[in-house]
Structures are given as C-alpha cells and as structure tokens.
A and B are shown apart, each in its own frame.
Chain A
Amino acid sequence: MILDSKIPSGPIEQKWDKHRAEVKLVNPANKRKYRILVVGSGLAGASAAASLAELGYNVDCFTFHDSPRRAHSIAAQGGINAAKNYQNDGDSIYRLFYDTVKGGDFRAREGNVYRLAQVSTNIIDQCVAQGVPFAREYGGYLSNRSFGGAQVSRTFYAKGQTGQQLLLGAYSALSRQIGAGTVTMHTRSEMMELVVVDGHAKGIVTRDLVSGKIESWAGDAVILATGGYSNVFYLSTNAMACNVTSIWRAHKKGAGLANPCFTQIHPTSIPQHGEYQSKLTLMSESLRNDGRVWVPKSANEKRAPHEIPEQDRDYYLERKYPSFGNLSPRDIASRAAKEVCDEGRGVGPGGRGVYLDFSAAIHRLGEKTIAERYGNLFEMYERITGENPYKVPMRIYPAPHYTMGGLWVDYNLMSTIPGLHVLGEANFSDHGANRLGASALMQGLADGYFVIPNTIGHYLASDTGNKVGTDHPEFKKAEAEVQARLHTFLSIKGKRTTTSFHRELGMLMWNNCGMARSEASLQQALSRIPEIREEFWNNLNVLGSGLEMNIALEQAGRVADFLEFAELMCWDALERDESCGGHFRTEHQTEDGEAKRNDQDFCHSAVWEYTGTDSKPIRHKEELTFENIKLATRSYK
C-alpha cells in the first residue's frame, strides 16, 4: 500500500494556493461528460454534491434517509469554528491551526489542518449568503462564543441548532441543483458495495430500502461522505442508522483505513437510564461555558446536590486545569469524569454521572439570559430526565460521539483506491487523536464546499482507467455478492435479533476499547469478537424477504460490518502502544493520570490494509512531521 500524502512543498501558508495553481483542471465543456457518485447527504455530502453540480458535473447523490435533510449532521448543537477574529481577541488562521493540531494531540497532518483553518472563514461567508440564520448581536453583526480547547471566541452558532441550520443551508443548495436536474437524488437507497474496476473506483451497488431492488450505478469517481462509526459501541450520541458499512466495504476493496481506534467520547451526554435504552443524548458542549462541573468530595455523600455546601464539592476540572477549567478539551474532560466516578464519587443511578451546575451562572446572569442561551437544551434535558435543570444541577456522563479515524485520504481527499474520495467524518484527515468542539461542522463543509471541488478535477483529468458501464462483469459480480449476503441473513433463521448482537458487541467495545484501554482488555475483545461474529452468522433471526421494506434486514447488514470492523479497531488500539488524545492506554499515563504520548515510536498515522475476515490486517505507517508546531506535551493546566 503506497501512502503518498501529496502535501505540497513550500511554506505552510502557501501550500493550498500553490496546490490549486498546480492541479489539473477539467474545462467547463468537459465537466458535463463526467458523472460523480456522492454517497451521503450530510454536511460533507450535500455540500459536495451541490458544489460539484454547480461546476457542471453530473452528480448522483444517495442517502438511506427519506430526505437528504435528515442526515445526522442535523443534530450538531453547539457551533462551527472559523478564524475570522471578529472579536479582536487574538484569533488567526495560525491559531486555529495550532489549536486543532494541539487539540488532536499531534496526530494529524499539518498541511491538511492548516488548509482547514484557511477555508474556515469562507464557510461562514458561504453560509451567510445561503441564508443560514446565525446568531447576531444587536448591531446586526455575527455573534461568537467560546468552546472547549480554545481561549478565543471563534464559534459561530444558530441557537443550539447550528448543525441543523448548516445542514438546511447545504440541503437548500442541493435542492436547488436537484430542481435544476443537475443532481439526481436517490433517497431510501443504501450503498451495499463499492465497485472497483482495474484499480479505479467506478461505481456502487445500492439497495432500495422500499422495494428491496438491488441496483448498480456507474460513475467516473465515487465520493463517500457517510459519517462515523460511533455506533460500534451500540449506545452513542449518533443517530440509530449511522453505520460503518460504506467505509468498511471500501476498506475490503482495498482502501486503507487509518487510526480506527481514535474515537471521541463526549463529556456531556445525559447518563444512561435503562437496559432497553437505544441511544444516548448529547447536551451541547457549549453548556460548559456557563455550567460548572462537580462531584461531591466524599464517596459516601448522600445529600441532594443543593444541600451539599461548597466546601464539600469538588469542581475537579477547575481544580486540575485552572487555565481551561470547565472548557478543557473533550478527551480530558471525559476521562476526568470517568476517574471521579471510578473513585465512587459519581452521582445519580449507578454512580455514573457528574453534576453540571448552572446555579452560579443563573445567579450572575439571571434565568432569562441562561434561557436565551440554552433554553432548548434545558427543555430537552427536562423531557428526557423529568428534572428541571434551572433548579437541580444536570447530570452528565461521557458518551461515544465522534470518530476521528476513517478512510485514509491524501491532500486531495482521495483514498488509496484511485477515484474513491472520502469527505467529512468518514475520512481520518484533520482531527488527529481528538477533535475540538465545533470543528466537525467546519471540516464537513470545508471538504464539501471548498476542497473537493478544487481537487476532484485533478483525478478526472489524470488517468481514470477505462470508462465502464453497469454491464461490466465487476458490477454483476458485486450485485451477486450483495444478493448472496442478503439471502444468507434471511436463511439463518436462528434465535437472536440483530439488536441483541449489536448490544452485546457495543458493551464489549465500551468496556474494552472505550474511554480507557489496556493490552489485557484489548486482547480479551480480540478473542471475543470472532465468537460473537460466529454466533451472529449461525443464530441470527431476520424475518420477511429482501423484496420489501425490511428494517431487520437493513440492520443485519450494518451489524455484520460492525462485527468485522470492531476487530480492526481493537488491533489498532492494541498496536498503538501509547496514549494520545482520545486513545488512552492505561499502561501509558503520567503520574497525574494524563495521556502519555510516545513520539519516538508513534508519531505516525496507522493505516490498515485488509487481508481477509479471519486474518490479521497489515499495519502501514504514514509518518507525521511537524515543521510549524513544535511537538510538545499537551497541557491545559
């Protein structure tokens, strides 16, 4: 596997301009000869599909949802970062770049991250022009707030629904192109297989989720923008249908998968309340701007929170990280919560929770101001828990939320399969071992609006292999494989449901490859996963047929892929014998329990090559060099 990152030479602030000046272009008349398949319609997919169609390409866009507007980007609450420095508080492109590289614990490529910071400002402009109703000050200018991991206010937001508004912006741009006939939208259509012909990505096979029809689609390039794999943990803040299938299928066809063990556990989710629970609900990180996190000092505390006096409370984030306090980065805040709960000081049922207390902010600013800032989040909390956070501190606990790992891509966002491009959370590129808050929206839109429209032409104008149609034998072969797989699910006729397998896998991953990992826990998971997988293929119960809407059948395919992918995640976590960012190996910690990096041996991205379901994958390395930021121990103290 050749890993050429194609980072342009020269000073970092000139790389992107230089690259854009040097890449090959497709002339306007020729663009309409190309067909691009975009899988996914979230921020990255919708923005890419719309922008490419505006350029003149023919675009087919696929989503398993009933409408592109339902992609899970819609659930992002807090905001989107941009280096505008509207607040005159010392922000700059360099500082956003620096914060992102440092926040990612020095496991991301400098060149990509710098470009992300550069285009961040264009994103805000584009979204404003589309009519995204960002929050504004009384003078009519855009408002900002601060977010975890940064000491400047660079986060743009639309109440607590920033993801929704940005997605609806991208959806409106996409809808305009659908209306104009330049994008053909395929809803309720799930990608089942990638088709590679002579080494080039040439198409996909989909299943129509209503009719069950298996169909092939041929294109000149394929873009995957299918999000992350947090649902490998079963319980996560992701939507129910989020899955690993498209990137796993691509991986099995030869695309390198990078750093799968880099998963983000978000510190502020509503704690789990029961066995039957289907998902965890996030409370925006923005709450940490005004909420103070604490637990009782004593493990034997029995009093209600308002009866516990100040001297018996431990504001542990403020105590341990005085300069960042409650705004410490996510991985650090999550681990600190786990630590105090492991000490027996957790609150709520099962002792898996910490308080997020707004009483000081309400006292300082008044209930009205707090309601203006967080009203919808407070309401959501009350609906779910039945408790009023204006009166009683919220209870929060970390939950799987985002995955930094994903398909390896070069500077052009192309994977190791020529023609296969990967955008947004589905790729591995920008967040290293930990993502900062309000940076996911930024990356998804950067990739879709501003990077891929500039880079895909370079591939199309180079060697793309032969033009093929869906009558090519590779398509027929892929279709037959998909059919066979569906047939197998339906013919096992065992006793257990897909959900029960998913839950079992999720629990194993959370306990053994979650917030803290060790060699022993990972070895245990690696021996257990194949056993669960074997039982899955022998004792699964899926009813009905493949020729109708069949939700159990849809889930079976996704869970089958999680059962293979989980093993790779554990291999990655095991072989990355260091702690960094969200990857915390208990063997590697400093005296005060912080992640201890090993730059000597692990200053690289691990890129995995598939070798078969029951054989160990091959680990390749892309070395990371830091020319602009000095490799340093991350400190938020």
Chain B
Amino acid sequence: MKLQLKVWRQQNTNTEGTFADYTLNEVSPDMSFLEMLDVLNEQLLGKGQDPVAFDHDCREGICGSCSMMINGKPHGPENMTTTCQLHMRKFNDGDNIVIEPWRASAFPVIKDLAVDRSAFDRIIQAGGFISVNTGNAQDGNTLPIPKPDADSAMDAAACIGCGACVAACKNASAMLFTAAKVAHLGYLPQGQPERNKRVLRMVNQMDSEGFGNCTNTLDCEAACPKGISADNIARLNRDFLKAKLKGISA
C-alpha cells in the first residue's frame, strides 16, 4: 500500500506546531498503525530528520499510552480499538491519513503527538481510591458482592486512561474518565464509606485542571476504545448531587 501522511510536528510545548507531509510506499496491510509509524521513523532517521515522537508501550491495547487523532477520530476509524491495535488493512492503497495529537488545553502537547495527561493522575490522586492500608484487609470472601455489581464495577474499571474521551469531546470534558472511576468504586460495598467525598473531590480536581463541561453529546462513549458506558456519567451526576444535598464538604 502507498500512503500520504499529514503528521502534526511540534518541537515542544512552547513552540507552534505545523503539519508535515510524508509519503510511505510499502505499507503492509498486516502492520499495526504504530508499526507503520515505526517504518516512517526509520525512514526519517535515514534521511537525517527528527523522528515523530508519540507515546506507546504495550502495543496490546491495554496500557493506554497511545493517543492520536487519526483522520479526526481518536484512535482512528475502528470502533473499540486503540491505535496500537488498529491495523493497516483497515485503510486503502492511496489513502491520505491525517495524524494529530489529542487536542485539549488540559493535555498540553509535549512534542509532536505526545501530550501531557498527568491531569488524569491528579484526578485519581484527589480521591479515586479506597483508603485501605496494606495489611488491613479481612478475608476476601467475607464480603460477598452480587455478581451483577461486580460485573458492572469491572466494566467501569476497564478504562485505560488514554484520554480519547477528552479528545473526542467538543468541550474537552473528562467526565467519562472521572465517572468511570467513581462508578467502579461506587458499585462496590468497599467503596461506600468514601463515596460522597470521593465524587466531590474528583469533580473539583477535574474542574481545576481545565477540562470542559459535559453537555451529554456522548462523543466520549463513541470514541472510547474500551466501551466505557456513558451511563457512568449519570451515576456520577447522581452521586455528586446526593453529596451536595447532604451538605458534605470535599
């Protein structure tokens, strides 16, 4: 396959970026999208040009590192698929492909396609945990959890923290990410003691990081490579309102 690439190049956070055009002549349909970029980078290095920086690691769709807009869609055209799991057989010979970093003011570009997602970590640090010190736990089976609850918790916990939800959102809202964690812990009995404070603290942190507001257009759900449901956002809103009405302070 022959491809025309338009790739965002930006030296660092403080410089302006621009698109650069590249042509790749021998792309195999069995390559993953990142392997295609590897080939591009080897080609660039051969020509004495700076390779394209992008985050990636496990290449199994689970670490959540890879993060690029491909033809305007987070992680590209295939549903429920991270960039590393996207294969070139989903493209056609002669295609033009536009590759950009996540665009959100809370995710500043570090270089080329790599962005700073540490805001997500700070949201978790604000309350995305159960406060249990090592050694405190009782036997795991002393706390039976109905299977539907455990399954729902697992579905919400499957979030890989890639940021596609933010990138897809016109407001760059982090509601789906935050809601997934609030719902995961909220489904479980272990998560109840801190449920009210957790949601308040995480939402406060989310807002202070500069993420936009949720307007329920659900692009986040459509873009999520792990199929995290926007129902979780409804749960977050309910928990948030309940905590507020109870007059609980963060």
Interface residues, chain A, CB within 8 Å of chain B? 47, 50-51, 54, 65-72, 74-75, 84, 86, 122, 124-131, 133-142, 158-159, 161, 163-165, 168, 171-173, 175-176, 178-179, 185, 187, 210, 239-241, 273-274, 276-279, 281-282, 379-380, 383-384, 386, 449-450, 453, 497, 499-500, 541, 543-544, 548-549, 551-552
Most buried by B among A134, A136, A450, A544: A136
A-B contact pairs, 8 of them (CB 8 A): A86-B141, A125-B139, A131-B188, A140-B145, A164-B62, A277-B35, A281-B59, A497-B45
**Chain B CB within 10 Å, residue with most, of A133, A134, A137, A175:** A133
Whole-angstrom distance between the Cβ of B117 and the nearest chain A Cβ: 6
**B30: A residues at CB distance < 8 A:** 273-274, 386
B42 interface residue (CB < 8 Å to A): yes
4 interchain residue pairs of minimum CB distance: A140-B144, A179-B125, A172-B129, A129-B137
A128 touches B190 (CB 8 A): yes
Give the residue of A136, A163, A279 whose beta carbon is less than 8 angstroms from that of B59.
A279
Query: In the complex, what residues of A have CB within 8 A of residue B188's CB?
Result: 131, 133
Measured between beta carbons, the chain A residues less than 8 angstroms from B51 are 543, 551-552
Closest to B156 in A: A133
Q: Is the CB of A549 within 8 A of B48?
A: no
Taking a contact as CB atoms closer than 8 A, the residue among A65, A66, A136, A240 that contacts B145 in the complex is A136
Task: Report B151 CB to chain A, min CB distance, Å.
Answer: 8
The smallest C-beta distance from B134 to any residue of chain A, in angstroms, reads 4
On chain A, the residues within 8 Å of B59 by CB distance are 239-240, 278-279, 281
* A172/B124 in contact, CB under 8 A: yes
User: Which of B38, B131, B161, B184 contacts A67, CB < 8 Å?
Assistant: B161
Question: Is A549 a contact partner of B111 (Cβ separation < 8 A)?
Answer: yes
The answer to whether A125 touches B38 (Cβ under 8 A) is no
**Contacts A140-B146, A175-B124 supplied; 14 other A-B pairs, CB < 8 Å:** A66-B114, A66-B116, A70-B63, A70-B65, A129-B132, A131-B153, A131-B191, A135-B150, A138-B147, A176-B125, A179-B126, A278-B34, A543-B45, A548-B111
Residues of A within 8 Å of B28, CB to CB, are 274, 276
Q: Most chain-B CB neighbours within 10 Å: which of A51, A176, A241, A379?
A: A176
- Cα A6 to Cα B154 in complex, Å, equals 41
The distance in angstroms between the C-alpha atoms of A183 and B30, with both chains bound, is 43
B63 and A74 form a contact (CB under 8 A) = yes
Residues of B within 8 A of A173 (CB): 129, 132, 134
Q: Is B247 an interface residue (CB 8 A)?
A: no
Q: Which residue of B lies closest to A453 (CB)?
A: B134
Q: Does B39 touch A at the CB level, under 8 Å?
A: yes
- With known contacts A66-B65, A499-B38, A549-B114, A74–B87 Cβ distance under 8 A: no
Q: CB distance B81 to A383 under 8 Å?
A: yes
B47 to chain A, nearest CB (A): 10
Q: Which of A122, A129, A386, A548 has the most chain B CB atoms inside 10 A of its CB? A: A129
Interface string of B105-139 (1 = CB under 8 A from A): 00000110010111011001111111111111111
Contact B65 A65 (CB under 8 A): yes
> Given A274-B28, A383-B81, A543-B48, A69 and B57 touching (CB < 8 A)?
no
Question: Which one of A125, A179, A276, A384 lies within 8 Å of B39 (CB-CB)?
Answer: A276
* A131 touching B184, Cβ below 8 Å: yes
CA distance A449 to B111 in the complex (A): 36
Cα of A126 to Cα of B190 in the assembled complex, Å: 11
B131: which of A176, A178, A497 is its contact (CB, 8 Å)?
A: A176
Cα distance A44–B174 in the bound complex, in angstroms: 29
Inter-subunit contact B129/A139 (CB<8 Å): no
Q: CA–CA, A71 to B161, complex, Å?
A: 13
B21 proximal to A (CB < 8 A): no
B53 within 8 A of A: yes
- Whether B134 contacts A126 by the Cβ 8 Å rule is yes
With the chains together, A274 CA to B27 CA distance in Å? Answer: 11
Q: Inside 8 A of B5's CB, which chain A residues have their CB?
A: none
**Binary contact readout B23-60 vs A (1 if CB under 8 angstroms, 0 otherwise):** 00000101110110011001001101111010111111
Contact A543:B63 (CB < 8 A) given known A130-B129, A175-B121:
no
Identify which of residues 211-227 in chain B touch chain A, using a CB-to-CB cut-off of 8 Å: none
Taking a contact as CB atoms under 8 Å apart, the answer to whether A54 and B133 are in contact is yes
A122 to chain B: closest CB distance in Å?
7
**Residue on A nearest B85 in the bound complex, by CB:** A383
Given A72-B63, A131-B185, A133-B154: A125 touches B138 (CB 8 Å cut-off) = yes
Minimum distance in angstroms from A295 CB to a CB of chain B: 23
Instruction: List, in ascending order, chain B residues with CB within 8 A of A185's CB.
Output: 121
* Contact between chains at A66 and B118 (CB < 8 Å): yes
* CB of A557 to closest CB in B, whole Å: 16
With known contacts A66-B116, A172-B130, A72–B58 Cβ distance under 8 A: yes
* A70–B35 CA distance with the chains assembled, in angstroms: 20
- Complex alpha-carbon distance, A185 and B121, angstroms: 11
CB-contact partner of B121 in A67, A138, A541, under 8 A: A67
Q: Which residues 77-108 in B have Cβ within 8 Å of A in the complex?
A: 78, 80-81, 85-87, 89
Distance in Å: Cβ of B86 to nearest Cβ of chain A: 8
What's the least CB distance linking B91 to chain A, in Å?
Answer: 13
Contacts of A126 in B (CB 8 A): 132, 134-137
List residues of chain B with CB within 8 A of the CB of A178. Answer: 121, 125
**Chain B residue with the shortest CB-CB distance to A273:** B30
Please determine whether A544 and B50 come into contact, CB atoms closer than 8 angstroms.
yes
Using Cβ atoms and an 8 Å threshold, which residues of chain A touch B120? Answer: 67
- The residue in chain A whose Cβ has the minimal distance to the Cβ of B150 is A136
Q: Note all chain B residues with C-beta closer than 8 A to A379.
A: 80
- Closest A residue by C-beta to B30: A273
User: Are B35 and A278 in contact (CB-based, < 8 A)?
Assistant: yes
B64 CB-CB contact with A under 8 Å: yes
Contact call A380/B137, Cβ cutoff below 8 A? no
Indicate with 1 or 0, residue by residue over B236-249, a CB within 8 angstroms of chain A CB atoms.
Answer: 00000000000000
With most chain B CB atoms within 10 A of its CB, the pick from A54, A129, A131, A383 is: A131
Q: Are A175 and B129 in contact (CB under 8 A)?
A: yes
Task: Please pick, from B60, B78, B127, B129, the residue contacting A281 in the complex, using a CB distance under 8 A.
Answer: B60
B55–A66 CB distance below 8 A: yes
